[in-house]
Structure 1
Amino acid sequence: MALARLLLLFAVAAIHQLPRSARAGDPDILTDFLAPLGAEPDQLNGSFFTYARLVSGLAGDPGKFTVSKATGAEFPALLGQSVSYAALIFGPGTVNPPHIHPRASELLVVVQGPLVVGLVDAARNGTVHTAALETGDMFVFPKGMVHYQLNNGTGVARAFSAFGGATPGTISLPTALFETDIDDAALEKSFRTDEATVEELKHDLREAPGPAPSPSPSPSSAAVALVGGSALAASLVCAAAAFSFVL
């Protein structure tokens, strides 16, 4: 009995030393796929498993950064399948600002380069891993880690991203920090700056142009547009500084 208790204590101690981490992702489903409410699986046809707007849903202005998503929200057949997709177009000098996907990793492949990417490594005190990708290159962004993509060239860059979840989620750091109701005093202290700088960043982000027009708008379209500029660059510097403080 004493030996059994001793072994149990060792087991508990070993488990206690295992790395702790939060886990998020698509739950396993009990059927092959999730049918819409009220529909029988045998009543579905090929159109349910087809999505035709990944590329056609992209905005037409190649001077901006645009992204079209095929997640569970736009393509319900993906729900429960632990996979989704996105098509990205980067105009010259545009950026997909630092952001995270809390529920999925991302595998990006460049189909028209070059494209610079970066990943913040929280396990190594905020070290930023960057790469200059050319056409055909791939880069993986682990789930929940801060990353970005930048086209610092003179031509258009294009890429596709596959996600390990039907609802990966996207949290943009500039938006989350400067377009929400976070108290100005908290932002000032966090970024070690003054009220005027915080207000300027908020104003410039609010004044940024809205989504570029889509050639065939529909309620399911997820195309959005962002424009790089001095204000956005300043917000990225602030975001990078903040993460250097907390990582």
Structure 2
Amino acid sequence: MPFLPLGYKKIHYTDYPPSASQHSQRPRETFIFIHGLGSTQNYYHAIATQLQAQNFRCITFDTTGAGRSPYTQIEQSIESLSEDVMALMDALPVSPDVEKAIVVGHSMGGIIAAHLAATRSDRIVAAILIGPVYPSSKLIPVFEKRIPLVEKEGMDAMANTIPSAATAEGTSPLIKGFIRELLLAQDPAGYCSNCRVIINAKKPDYGKIAIPVLIVAGDEDKSAPVEDCERIYDEIGTGDKRMKTMRNVGHWHCVEKPEEVGKLILDFIQEIQ
């Protein structure tokens, strides 16, 4: 299994090079994907393979304490998880090194991606925020309640509720089963630690973002509702920004309607290139 040591952390990642027929060419761009709370890099698999077929390089990874990246017992923050993204770009063994990239973040990963867009425009050339969480005091009690529940009952407490509560009406049992598996792949202690990341998250400096941005919202998303996405959109400083709202989609956009998300990303890249 491909792991990268990043200081005291061990990060599991997958590198999707351009499709075999185009492998001799340089990638058009490189994407770095950051998943959300209770998820893993596999949330993006369908999106990464779509982009891979269009000669993009895609890198997915499990954030520390999630999926196959072991929990370290050391508390994290939006800032430390952002530093992991930059360290990952520097440490990837596959040539060429990732000098610059487009960052994609879902949910909590959307906070990280926005922070990177605001602070690292020297290496982040565009940002795609999918159902980005807007840090605010109203989120604190939501995630504070989850911690003792998971500490007592394990990840079953989340796996038995979130797949139905956080998806659109009419979502198929197959998709709910996949989300359930993503949740059950979490170390409970790592999940609780990442709940605290959201509880303690400060709002990114959206006004300082000067690179192209795409926000993808779901019209049935209760975790990152359309009005919160619109608020982020309004606060983002760049004039090169767009927001798309997907119909009949909850908070798990990339598994609820992967083909549509992939098309939105490809259209965005075509517009800014």
TM-score using structure 2 length: 0.24
Identify the structure with bigger relative contact order (alpha carbons < 8 Å, sequence gap 6+): 1
Instruction: Considering fraction of residues, name the structure with more helix.
Output: 2
Instruction: Considering fraction of residues, name the structure with more strand.
Output: 1
* Structure number with bigger Rg: 1
